[in-house]
């Protein structure tokens, strides 16, 4: 078995364990507008579920506790929404400031380059464009002892002088541990890699 195949098999086993340990939880935080998990008033549906012994032992196989993985996914979502939201009236420095606190130092030069792309900035200013991104789905794609890659699906709405457009894109966001938290190490289109 090649090392790539072995890594893929190990990642699949860890992701399966994460799914079992999570017990069907969603990586997206519940908002007031989110529908409840169940609308029935059956006592069994309202009783708190305790993780099974199997789920608890599978969780011990993960390189990070489920709550820490939840925090990584949450940060990946916040970073992607900030990354894909911008305005022609906003300075590149303001866009960078939103991202810097979530990003690893190694990512800062790439962020600065993206923020200062004169062609893109001129196009946005000429069309008076602003974009707002909303995260619609999160999924852990790769998990190692030193990183986690989360696939983030985001819908971006761009408004400008020529009207409004909407698009959906998948992003692969790789995070690395930083103390008790996480930092974004890389962001790419999901189809480009980051695994």
pLDDT at residue 62, as a whole number: 75
Rg (C-alpha) for the chain, rounded Å, is 19
Q: Among residues 106, 31, 113, 17, which one has the least CA distance to residue 65?
A: 17
Q: Which residues of the chain are modeled with pLDDT < 70?
A: 1-60, 193-195
Out of 3.20.20.120, 3.30.365.10, 3.40.50.300, 3.10.450.230, the CATH code matching 64-195 is: 3.10.450.230
pLDDT > 70: what percent of the chain?
A: 68
**Taking the CB of residue 21, how many other CB atoms lie within 10 A of it?**
22
pLDDT at 4: 44
Instruction: Give the CA distances from residue 64 to residues 68, 69, 104, in Å, rounded to whole numbers and listed in that order.
Output: 6, 6, 19
Q: Report d(CA 139, CA 186) in Å as an integer.
A: 16
Domains in the chain: boundaries: 1-23+52-62, 64-195
Instruction: Name the DSSP letter for residue 103.
Output: B
Write the pLDDT tens digit of every residue in 86-134: 999 999 999 999 999 999 999 999 999 989 899 999 999 999 999 999 9
Tokens of 28: 């997206």
**Cα dihedral angle (152, 24, 29, 114), rounded to 10 degrees?**
-10
Which residue shows structure tokens 């464009």?
129
């Amino acid at each position: 078995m090649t090392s790539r195949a072995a890594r893929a098999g190990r990642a699949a086993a860890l992701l399966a364990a994460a799914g079992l340990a999570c017990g069907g939880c969603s990586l997206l935080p519940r908002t007031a507008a989110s529908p409840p998990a169940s609308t029935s008033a059956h006592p069994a549906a309202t009783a708190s579920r305790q993780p099974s012994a199997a789920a608890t032992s599978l969780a011990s196989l993960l390189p990070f506790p489920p709550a820490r993985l939840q925090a990584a996914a949450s940060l990946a979502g916040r970073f992607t929404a900030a990354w894909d939201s911008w305005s022609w009236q906003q300075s590149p420095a303001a866009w960078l400031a939103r991202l810097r606190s979530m990003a690893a130092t190694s990512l800062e030069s790439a962020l600065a380059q993206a923020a200062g792309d004169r062609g893109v900035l001129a196009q946005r200013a000429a069309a008076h464009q602003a974009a707002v991104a909303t995260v619609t789905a999160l999924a852990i794609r790769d998990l190692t002892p030193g990183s986690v890659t989360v696939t983030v699906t985001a819908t971006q709405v761009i408004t400008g002088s020529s009207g409004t457009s909407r698009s959906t894109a998948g992003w692969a966001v790789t995070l690395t541990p930083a103390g008790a938290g996480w930092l974004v190490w890389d962001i790419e289109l999901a189809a480009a890699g980051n695994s």
